[in-house]
Amino acid sequence: MMKVTIAVMTALTISMALMMVCTIISKSSIMDREKMSPFECGFDPIDSPRAPFSVQFFLIAVLFLIFDIEIAIILPIIITMKWTMTSVWIGTILTFIVILITGLYYEWKNGMLEWSK
């Protein structure tokens, strides 16, 4: 029990010392308007929050997320091929890929991937 108490006290002492050092160091830095303002992806946070936003950019970002999630789903399926029957595995993969390709074709035909109109 004494070892646990000593370990906890040592951890608290080290963390408090580090917090004090960080506070002292941060006070000496130059604080101007640009360093104190938040950085939001290149947008000026002082402007109106009702600024126009590109819908095409949003659609491309959503498309990227969909295909990113596709990779996260397909990789574990490849690992499970050892434990499943090959015909079931191929059927599952083909169904998944056909659904994704159909969605991409739908977006392409409706002009959702056009950056400028």
Structural domain boundaries of the chain? 2-109
Contact assessment for residue 62 and residue 85, using Cβ atoms and an 8 Å cutoff: no
Tens digit of pLDDT for each residue in 47-78? 666 667 777 777 778 878 887 888 787 777 77
Topology adopted by domain 2-109: Methane Monooxygenase Hydroxylase; Chain G, domain 1 (1.20.58)
User: Could you tell me which residues are beta bridge partners of residue 43?
Assistant: 40
**pLDDT tens-digit series, residues 76-91:** 777 777 777 778 778 8
Output the pTM of the full model.
Answer: 0.45
Of 58, 66, 52, 68, give the one whose Cα is nearest residue 113: 58
The distance from CA 96 to its chain's CA centroid, rounded to whole angstroms, is: 23
The token duo for 34 is: 């640009």
CA neighbor of 81 nearest in space, from 70, 71, 72, 93: 93
Q: Residue 38: is its pLDDT beyond 70?
A: no
